[in-house]
Amino acid sequence: MKHTALFILTFSTPFLLGFGFKTFTTNTAQQKKMKRVTGIGGIFFKSKEPKKLKGWYQLHLGLNMDQYGTNFEWRQSEDSTKKGFTQWGPFTETTKFF
């Protein structure tokens, strides 16, 4: 019984190590080729009273609100000349957008 376990361990260990190394190097190479996410398009959520909520954020946090919520402007880290935007907007509880 001990010989069988040792035999299986002896032959399975190099296989598993090789498989693990191949998986690791393949994933790393694929990650270098893949495009990265550069931002989030928006944060949208349901609210019982979205108008009051927008008013609270405008009053207490100084965010400029429009009918949809507010828009955050940011710069891309790899190229600071490129702007990005993230929309923040509460919707009514009964919206069908979600």
Per-residue pLDDT of the chain (98 residues; tens, 9 = 90+): 555 554 454 555 565 556 565 666 666 666 667 777 777 889 999 999 999 999 999 999 999 999 999 999 998 887 889 899 999 999 999 999 87
CA–CA separation, 86 vs 98, rounded Å? 18
Same domain, 46 and 78: yes
Q: Which structural domain range is residue 83 located in?
A: 42-92
Asked if residue 81 is part of any domain, the answer here is yes
pLDDT of residue 79: 84
Asked if residue 98 is part of any domain, the answer here is no
Same domain, 26 and 64: no
Same domain, 29 and 63: no
Same domain, 29 and 50: no
User: Which residues sit opposite 74 in a β-bridge?
Assistant: 84
Same domain, 85 and 66: yes
Asked if residue 97 is part of any domain, the answer here is no
Asked if residue 4 is part of any domain, the answer here is yes
Asked if residue 76 is part of any domain, the answer here is yes
> What is the layout of strands, in order, in the sheet containing 42-47?
42-47, 83-92, 70-75
Asked if residue 55 is part of any domain, the answer here is yes
How many domains does the chain divide into? 2
Asked if residue 46 is part of any domain, the answer here is yes
